[in-house]
Amino acid sequence: MHGIVPRYHQLKAILHGQVRSGAWQPGDLIPSERELSDRYGVSRMTARQSVTELVHAGVLYRRQGKGTYVAWPRIAQGLTNLTGFTEDMRARGMEPGTRVLGQRMWATSETEAVRLQIRPGQRVCEVRRLRLADNEPLAVERSLISFFGCEQLLEADLSHQSLYALLETAYGLVPCEAEQEIEAGLADDDHARTLGVAVDDPVLLLRRTTFAERGQPIEYAESVYRGDKYTLHARLARAPAAR
Ligand code: GLP
């Protein structure tokens, strides 16, 4: 290695490349710092620094007394832009997938009705979907969709199209704004089975009400995301008064 780019930086790029190209797979044990320093002709210190930076970046992780491994990639969702699952995955270069678990008309409970600003018991279309990223289960979502004529959605095949796109193109309901709550939780039996994780594994619970142009609530969704795969990302700006 040569040039003006610091050596640890060059090695870091090489190691990151191994992960990106798939030569090193999630869960693989990577060579020790001693092996890396021999292989790339750098000092142990340099090898350590490169590895440490990739650990901090979440690309690798260390296990006490065992060595360093390739981490599973996390999928980050921005907290300020309203995107649907399909857009979200495509933006990350991943292939979104959906398995429809159920689709029926549903009489809303009190709390669901409050979220959708309708009368309790009013019927909405309920869609339960398993959402996949590159064929791997990532989330289970239960959506309650509410608009005049929403029973037509029972005919829609949501395994091959995005709900947000369908609402927009077929019904002129453009998802414009949403309110979202996020909570930590543990996978119950049902979610564990569907998501392919163990019971009591950590999950993220998201509740989102999506509004169309004139503030009309069109969807209330409860989603359970795998805690080991999903990161929520926010960019924060300090309020002018506090500067
Ligand atoms: C996110 C939201 C859901 C919404 C979905 C739409 O996952 N949590 O409330 O239904 O996006 O995604 P798509 O347009 O891919 O169906």
Distance 141 CA to ligand 1 centre (A): 8
Strands 123-133 and 96-107: antiparallel
pLDDT of residue 59: 87
Strand, coil or helix: 66: coil
Rounded Cα distance between 45 and 112, Å, is 57
| For ligand 1, mutation pick of 208, 209, 220 (most atoms within 8 Å of CB) | 208
What's the CA gap between 184 and 206, in Å, rounded?
9
pLDDT at 231: 82
Q: In which residue are the tokens 């210190």 written?
A: 45
Q: What is the CA(200)–ligand 1 centre distance, in A?
A: 25
Distance (angstroms) between ligand 1 centre and the Cα of 122 equals 22
User: How far is residue 49's CA from residue 143's CA, in Å, rounded to a whole number?
Assistant: 46
Q: Which amino acid is at 20?
A: R
pLDDT for 1: 57
**Quick one: how far is CA 11 from the chain centroid?**
29
In the DSSP assignment, the letter for residue 154 is G
* Cα separation, 63 vs 228, whole angstroms: 16
Q: How far is the CA of 223 from the centre of ligand 1 (A)?
A: 9
Using the atom order of ligand 1, give the atom closest to the CA of residue 89.
Answer: 15
Residue 11's H or E segment, with its range, is: helix 7-20
What is residue 106's DSSP assignment? Answer: E
Other beta carbons less than 10 A from residue 188's beta carbon: 12
- Give pTM, 2 decimals: 0.73
Q: Whose CA is nearest to atom 2 of ligand 1?
A: 84
Cα 117 to ligand 1 centroid, rounded to whole Å: 20
Q: Among residues 2, 6, 43, 36, which one has the least CA distance to residue 18?
A: 36
Question: What is the full per-residue pLDDT of the chain (243 aa) written as tens digits?
Answer: 556 778 888 999 999 999 989 999 988 999 999 999 999 999 999 999 999 999 888 788 888 888 999 987 776 666 678 999 999 888 777 899 999 999 999 999 999 999 999 999 999 999 999 999 999 999 999 999 999 999 999 999 999 999 999 999 999 999 999 999 999 999 999 999 999 999 999 999 999 999 998 899 999 999 999 998 888 777 677 877 765
CA angle 221, 182, 172 (to 5 degrees): 35
DSSP element (H, E) containing 88: helix 85-91
Q: What is the DSSP letter of 130?
A: E
Contact 132, 96 (CB under 8 A): yes
Which residues have C-beta atoms less than 6 Å from ligand 1?
84-86, 141, 143, 162-165, 206, 208, 219, 221, 223
**Nearby residues of 159 by Cβ (< 8 Å), 6 or more positions away:** 98, 99, 100
